[in-house]
Structure 1
Amino acid sequence: MTAQVIKRGERPEWAVIPYEEYLELLEKAEMVEDTIALERAIAAPDDEGVPQDIVERLLEGENPIKVWRTYRGLTQHDLAEQAGLSQSYLAMMEKGEREGTVKALKRIAKALNVDIDDLVDMHDEEPA
């Protein structure tokens, strides 16, 4: 890592790094946060444990709605019905052809018994 250290007197005050290195560090920090959150979720005694294959599918970037739907043993038709949505709208969301509204995501999360955050694909987010 290349860093320029700026001092105030003898004490280091700032470290300046190239933007690409900053983005790499940001991505690694987010991965660590995701790992910690996942470990806490798995270790929580009152919460449902998440099977390893589900975790792997989510980390590989598979659509979270589809992953949770199949894990719960639901068809698209079943989930759409429980969430009060059309099956075609749900199918488009799973394929990434449409983004779900917050209202739709809340309904899907409730039907799947997961938090709405569990349905957001973290791989699609851009750094701030």
Structure 2
Amino acid sequence: MGNIQRLTLDGKNYVLLSEDDFEDLIDGLKADAIKARIAAGEETWPAELVYELFETDSRIRTFRKYRGMTASQLATAAGISQPYLSDIETGKKTGSVDVLKRIAIALKVDLVDLVASEQDDQA
């Protein structure tokens, strides 16, 4: 950190630091919060998976393969037929919200991770 000044105004103590130092401080606090979530057991994904999610035409298939599941295993876990899952993965059918929730639970991901649009990816 650079030059830090301590000030007292109207009986209150303040610290004055540069905007760069302030942003570094905030970044450090955010990093500490992320490390705490990971230490508490929050799952992290490898960069390769994240990159593939940006490019895939089927997030469900990408997560299924990442989890090491066959289409049949995922369909059974979600309580749907394998052909129906295949139609969802290939985009022939969208799947109801209930079915997508069950797929998300079976894949141990949030529903939003399955249905994020290309526009969301670019934001």
TM-score interval w.r.t. the shorter chain? 0.5 to 0.7
Question: C-alpha displacement at 1:59, in angstroms?
Answer: 0.8
Question: C-alpha displacement at 1:124, in angstroms?
Answer: 6.9
Question: Tell me, what secondary structure is at the counterpart of 1:73?
Answer: coil
**Alignment deviations for residues 29-49 of structure 1 (CA, whole Å, 9 cap, x no partner):** xxxxxxxxxx9xx86413111
Unaligned residue ranges in structure 1 (runs of 5+): 1-38
Corresponding residue for 2:49?
A: 54
Off by >4 Å, runs of 4+ in structure 1:
none
Corresponding residue for 2:85?
A: 90
Unaligned residue ranges in structure 2 (runs of 5+): 1-30
**Alignment deviations for residues 79-115 of structure 1 (CA, whole Å, 9 cap, x no partner):** 0001000000100110011001000001001101110
Q: C-alpha distance in 2, partners of 1:67/1:57?
A: 7
Pairwise CA RMSD of aligned residues? 2.0
Q: Does 1:115 align with 2:115?
A: no
Corresponding residue for 2:9?
A: none
Question: Tell me, what secondary structure is at the counterpart of 1:100?
Answer: coil
| Counterparts of residues 13-32 of structure 1 (less than 5 Å) | none
Corresponding residue for 1:99?
A: 94
The count of aligned residue pairs is 85
Q: Does 1:80 align with 2:111?
A: no
How does the TM-score come out when normalised to structure 2?
0.63
Structure 1 residues 97 and 121, CA gap change in structure 2 (3 angstroms): farther
Question: C-alpha displacement at 1:62, in angstroms?
Answer: 3.1
Residue identity over aligned pairs, in percent, reads: 42
- Structure number with larger C-alpha Rg: 2
Structure 1 residues 121 and 96, CA gap change in structure 2 (3 angstroms): farther
Q: C-alpha distance in 2, partners of 1:122/1:67?
A: 15
